[in-house]
Amino acid sequence: MRNMLQKILLAALPVIFLAGCVDYGKVDQGRTVAVDKDKKTVTIIRDKANDTNNPDYNYLPALTYTFPTQPAEMGPEPKAGLRMKLDVEKAQVVLYDPQKKAFVTVPIQIVDKQDGIDASHPLVFDDAAGKAKTFPAVDKDKKTVTIYSGRQKMLVAFIPPEEYLSLPASAWDSGDEIRIYYKDDGKALRLMNVTKTNIFKR
C-alpha cells in the first residue's frame, strides 16, 4: 500500500510542478496620455486606486505598452488626454505634462458649475443632431475652458491662468481608461478600451 501511494505521489509531482509554474500574466489599468500610431504604442498613467468610481491617477512614471500583435486582442484605439483630475472643491485641475513627465496642478477660477448632468442632458447632448456636444471647449475670447465629466455628472466652465489658454482643447480632456493584460513589461497581449465599452464614464 505504501509503495502504491508513493507511485501515485511521484506520478502527480510533474502535474503539481507545472501548475505552480504557470504564468498567468498581469493586468494594468489607467488613463491614456499618449498614443503613437506609427510605433503602435500607448502610454498610460496607472490608476493606483483601481476603482473606476474613485480613480487615483498619480502613479509615476507613465507606462508605455506596445499594441497587441494579434488584432483580435486589440479593442477600440484609445483616445489620449492630459487631464488627470478635476477638483471643484479645491478649484484646480491636475494635468500630466509629457515634457516634464510630471503632474502640474493648475489653479482655476470657476465661473459656472452644473451638477446632475447626465450624458443625455441638452447642455451636453445635441438631440437634433443625435450626438454629444464637443467637450472640452476653449473660448479664447472669454478666456474660459468648459469641461464635461460624465463620471461626475458635472459641467464646469472656468478660467485658467493666462499661460494655459494656449493649450489645445484636447489637453484638458481625460484620456480613455484602458485595461492591459501582459506578461512581459511594455508588451500588451490584450488591450481593452474600458471607456469605449461604456463600463467607465470619464
Per-residue model confidence (pLDDT) at position 16: 43
What are the pLDDT digits (tens) for 141-169? 999 999 999 888 999 999 999 999 999 99
Q: What is the mean pLDDT of residues 114-135?
A: 93
Per-residue model confidence (pLDDT) at position 198: 61
Q: Which domains does the chain have, with CATH numbers?
A: 27-79+175-193 (2.40.50), 83-172 (no CATH)
- In the predicted model, what is the mean pLDDT of the chain? 87
Angle among Cα 28, 30, 33 to the nearest 5 degrees reads: 125
Residue 103 pLDDT exceeds 60? yes
Per-residue model confidence (pLDDT) at position 55: 84
pTM higher than the cut 0.85: no
More confident residue, 111 or 4: 111
SS3 (DSSP) at 182: strand
Residue 53 pLDDT exceeds 50? yes
Per-residue model confidence (pLDDT) at position 131: 92
More confident residue, 188 or 58: 188
Rounded to the nearest 5 percent, the helix, strand and coil shares of the chain are 15, 40, 45
Q: What are phi and psi of 20, to 5 degrees?
A: -75, -20
Per-residue model confidence (pLDDT) at position 190: 96
Per-residue model confidence (pLDDT) at position 52: 67
Per-residue model confidence (pLDDT) at position 197: 83
70: which 3 cell numbers? Answer: 494579434
Which range (48-57, 81-90, 133-142, 190-199) has the least confidence? 48-57
Q: Which residues contact 151 (CB under 8 A, 6 or more apart)?
A: 52, 53, 200, 201, 202
- Spatial strand order of the sheet with 83-87 comes to 83-87, 92-97, 102-107
What are the pLDDT digits (tens) for 9-49? 444 444 444 445 556 889 999 999 999 999 999 999 999 88
